[in-house]
Amino acid sequence: MIAPPDMTIPVSFSPWHMFLGVGLVVRSVMVILIAAALATWTIFIAKTIELARLKARLRSAEETLEDTDTLKPGADWIQDGATIVHAMVRAAETERRRSHDLPEDREGVKERIVLHLERLEAGEGRRLMRGTGVLATIGATAPFIGLFGTVWGIMSSFTGIAAAHATSLAVVAPGIAEALLATALGLVAAIPAVVIYNHLARQTAACRACIADLTSLVMRLVSRDLARIAASRSAEVLRFNQRELRASVSVAE
């Protein structure tokens, strides 16, 4: 008995020939999974380059801030460094400048600067995680998408067997093999996505730790500068009192 055309045993059992031999639904599932796998590796390459460059800039910025004694020169030197560090230094300088006319309150100034830096740090953390959510989605859904394609392909194979009234394993084997290819593609897409997601999460956590260290360095410079300003004002007040005292002594004489 001649099998239906869609149940014909393919000439080759290579993945390409099996891909060409499947039905429209299973083939669409395979295309989706292939696109997901390509997206996974594209995100991996792009994020790896981005994080490597950011790490280098953060290390350079950390060395710059470690070597400076005051925030203002640091702001000038850090302009060509990491964007987040430049934003932090600018934010600290801006807040300190806006608070110059307020009553002397070093703790209040530092608290406002810390709040601003925390917002910048959180925003940078969200930016670093951008794109990794796609990896999590692929890792969670790709096996089930592939399983759907497999179930649909096997169902179609058994439907063809029933229509052809054939019980030979040689008739059903090609269709089942083609359907199982969808499950294999689902695993090919999901496993790298999960591994890459975990790798990028660790790299992002390392970058966020570096940014937190830089926040501490900026606050150390802010505290140092505020102490200098307070000492300078105290010295001015002392000199003014001394001048007033000398003037009073002169008048009394």
Model pLDDT for residues 17-39, shown as the tens digit of each residue: 665 666 687 788 888 999 999 99
Note whether 178 and 13 are within 8 A (CB).
no
Note whether 230 and 104 are within 8 A (CB).
yes
Model pLDDT for residues 63-98, shown as the tens digit of each residue: 888 877 777 655 555 555 557 888 888 888 888 777
